[in-house]
Structure 1
Amino acid sequence: MTAQPIDPDGSGMWGPDPVRQRLANHTIEDVLALPDDAPRVELRDGVLVLVPSPTIGHQNIANRLWMWLFHNAPDDVAPATAVGVAINHRNTFEPDVVLIKRPVVADNHYVDAEQVVLAVEVVSSGTRRRDRLEKPADYADAGIPHYWRIEQNPVHVYAYDLVDGRYELAADSAEELIVTKPFDVRLSVRDITP
């Protein structure tokens, strides 16, 4: 089975097969086989979920955080944006920013959850429930040791550490985030605020 493009209205736009969507039987192989012109998707319990396009403000926060991590993270990890994380055979996510254990294969779009040290989501109006509730639970189930949630307007960073299978709040700030994991971080929130 594949996630072959469906064009029900003849518009030339890719869309998931509605029958397979109802059956919830898509797998990561389907995601990896999507055509180049397909929109970004996440796989949630076998259903392809379109990932909304981020706003300029959202992208600015994620890009500034990527740049900060690029300059400040230790050499054994690498930051990335718009990279898929394979949670399991029926679930994938596309965090806004990830910190990945090296070595990193530069031409891969997906990494295994075991390779992710930190997953970051910038919360937007259309992603509040997923970023605050659903994704943290799934990232925790996948064993990703650290999760950061960044709220906008005003920018506020919440840092969580995985403890006994659940995320516990390690620190939060609208001014300066200070944590010791995944490395010694002193992040001025001003540095990631557009």
Structure 2
Amino acid sequence: MSAGPIATPPGPWRPDPVRQQRADYTIEDLFKLPDDAPRVELVDGVIQVAPSPTLGHQDIALLLARWLLQHTPDHLRVTQAVGVALTLTTSRQPDVLLRRAGVSTDRSLLLPADVVLAVEVVSPATRRTDRFTKPTEYAAAGIPFYWRIEQDPVHVYAYRLGGRRGPSGERQYELAAESAELIALDEPFEIKLPVAELIG
């Protein structure tokens, strides 16, 4: 019996179950996904299909992106639905992010050094990941700022990379501001964000 590749059954694309079990997918494999592949993230070598966002989630992400577009200085750009290669075997797609303006626009995957701010809007299906897993991964990759936006009611938590180290020596975020009314920050640029502007 030969150990050739497993034939993909007809129908929508899905990850190879053998490779999933071995957790041996890498960032390079993301560039080879077919056009009909769903939105995915790569977590420790395993491809995870991202759950479909709710309308409330999308409203907040779009309203934040619009606000940032109107207020972000020229050296930064607002981006959505683009992945960030955190390690060789992990990539995430923040709901909204700020990237450096000099990054080539033909890229479909960013490096942590390209990203200034990663934002996640918390939904019931992503609650644990957005509150615990992603900030740990973003901080370990050196992304300077992370925002978590809770829904019902809308509340923004803004973090910056601090000097504190975790148990394994990785850097951690520290809370810079949190509010359901106004987020006022000096970094990554001077921000006075009325939280009401994120409520559609």
Residue number in structure 2 paired with 1:168: 174
Identity of counterpart residues, as a percentage?
52
Residue number in structure 1 paired with 2:108: 109
**Structure-2-length-normalised TM-score:** 0.91
Deviation, 1:43, is 0.5
Distance in 2 (CA, whole Å) between partners of 1:106 and 1:184 is 25
Distance in 2 (CA, whole Å) between partners of 1:85 and 1:131 is 15
| SS of aligned partner of 2:178 | strand
Distance in 2 (CA, whole Å) between partners of 1:117 and 1:58 is 22
1:1-194 aligned at under 5 Å gives the runs 6-7=8-9, 10=10, 12-164=11-163, 165-194=171-200
Distance in 2 (CA, whole Å) between partners of 1:168 and 1:138 is 14
Distance in 1 (CA, whole Å) between partners of 2:31 and 2:177 is 36
Deviations 1:95-122 (A, max 9, x none): 0000001113223221111110000000
Closer, same or farther: CA 107–169 of 1 in aligned 2, 3 Å: same
Is the Cα–Cα contact under 8 Å of residues 123 and 149 in structure 1 kept in the other structure?
yes
Deviations 1:112-165 (A, max 9, x none): 111100000000000000000000000000000000000001100000000121
Closer, same or farther: CA 5–161 of 1 in aligned 2, 3 Å: farther
Deviation, 1:192, is 1.1
Q: Which structure would you say has the larger Rg? A: 2
| SS of aligned partner of 1:127 | helix
Distance in 2 (CA, whole Å) between partners of 1:70 and 1:121 is 17
Deviation, 1:80, is 0.5
Paired residue total: 189
Of 105-114 and 151-160, more deviation after overlay is shown by: 105-114
Distance in 2 (CA, whole Å) between partners of 1:137 and 1:5 is 37
Unaligned 5+ runs, structure 1: none
> Aligned letter for 2:132?
L
Alpha carbon RMSD of aligned pairs, Å?
1.4
Deviation, 1:5, is 8.3
